[in-house]
């Protein structure tokens, strides 16, 4: 299991469009990947799950990956979260 932290830079947080990008990216990995914010955890491959966390700008989220490609998955998801700046 790999755990990494990412800071959300998007002014609108992880709303519909950024969350959709995350779900698409996460779905390309075999590993189970979840995201945690303020003690709430959701499967990052679930759009409803990600949106239900209500992640806002400057939130620090935890990305937890477990599986065959966990290291790459966690790394790529963190990069994506930190690169979304709409």
Q: What is the pLDDT of residues 16-73, one digit of tens each?
A: 999 999 999 999 999 999 999 999 999 999 999 999 999 999 999 999 999 999 999 9
CATH code for the domain in which residue 70 is found: 3.30.1340.10
DSSP state of 41: E
For residue 86, is pLDDT > 90?
no
Annotated catalytic residue 54: no
Overall domain count for the chain: 1
Question: What domain range is 58 assigned to?
Answer: 2-83
Please, what is the Cα angle at 43 between 9 and 68, to 5 degrees? 100
Quote the pTM value: 0.94
The pLDDT of residue 85? 83
Annotated catalytic residue, options 15, 32, 49, 66: 15
């Amino acid at each position: 299991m790999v755990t990494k932290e990412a800071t959300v830079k998007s002014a609108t947080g992880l709303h519909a469009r950024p969350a959709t990008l995350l779900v698409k990216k996460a779905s390309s990995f075999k590993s189970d990947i979840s995201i945690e914010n303020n003690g709430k955890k959701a499967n990052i491959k679930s759009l409803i799950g990600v949106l239900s966390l209500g992640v806002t700008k400057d939130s620090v989220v935890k990305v937890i990956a477990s599986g065959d490609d966990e290291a790459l998955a966690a790394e790529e998801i963190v990069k994506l979260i930190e690169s979304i700046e709409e």
